[in-house]
Structure 1
Amino acid sequence: MKHTQFFTAVLFCLFSLQANAQTKPVAKFKPPKLTTMLGEFKDSTGITKETAAQIIGLPLKIYDAAKKTYSVANYQLAYKKTGIREDEITGKLIPTSTLSYQLFTETPVSPIWIKTIRAQIKSGDELYFFEVVAKD
């Protein structure tokens, strides 16, 4: 009887002793605030068509507040071209715009885009660099 109680007590102790390892909570990743520059221009800005034609061939640069530079993984460029069209019925001229865009994986943009923008850009046109992805 004593042996049975002893074995029962030992088994109870073996199964009741359980250690849980304490795990540290994973710190939430906070990405750094990055700035994108094309030439000397950053953020939204208005520039002349001559300046736009000149800087379109420059590389896109990404850096953080500590001036650490990052390489470009990919980005999109949209070119909003303004123009006019004639209404076939009334003959009136109506302002219109066309939008061309492309995903790029290298900077600067491809030579065909540089050539096209330099040849066609005029006052009122807009260039958008968006969805810029940086890699460390």
Structure 2
Amino acid sequence: MSRMTPFTSPLLLGFDAMEKTLERIAKGNDGYPPYNIERLRADDGAGLPERLRITLAVAGFSEEELDVTTEENQLVVRGRQNDAGERDYLYRGIAARQFQRMFVLADGMRVLGAELRNGLLSIDLMRPEPERMVKKINISVPD
């Protein structure tokens, strides 16, 4: 018995890589760290490209313990806390925990930068206005 997914429609051609990416993200989503995604609007209305900001709550992580990369069409944020030597904890409620959070980026999305402030990692992205392309396909008739 074959598995039916939205991507098995005969009208969606070439989306098998996207389906695999979505499956991988769904498997690795444990909810940590929590994050927000917001749309940043330009005040002047000058037709600037849309900007987005992803903010992750990474309290306890230093800049050196965080890694933000783009891999193909994905934004990957990794965190790995180093356990600072031998400590004698009476109670340990804050665990040194590593994480990996992935976001799929649409074609043309650009990462503008990342900033760590007050335990929040903000990553700014720009989504350029898509070009509207119409291409005429010639129909050939064999003799």
Compute the TM-score of the two structures, normalised by the length of structure 2. 0.21
Higher relative contact order (CA 8 A, sep 6+): 1
Compute the TM-score of the two structures, normalised by the length of structure 1. 0.22
Larger Rg: 1
Structure holding more helix per residue:
1
Structure holding more strand per residue:
1
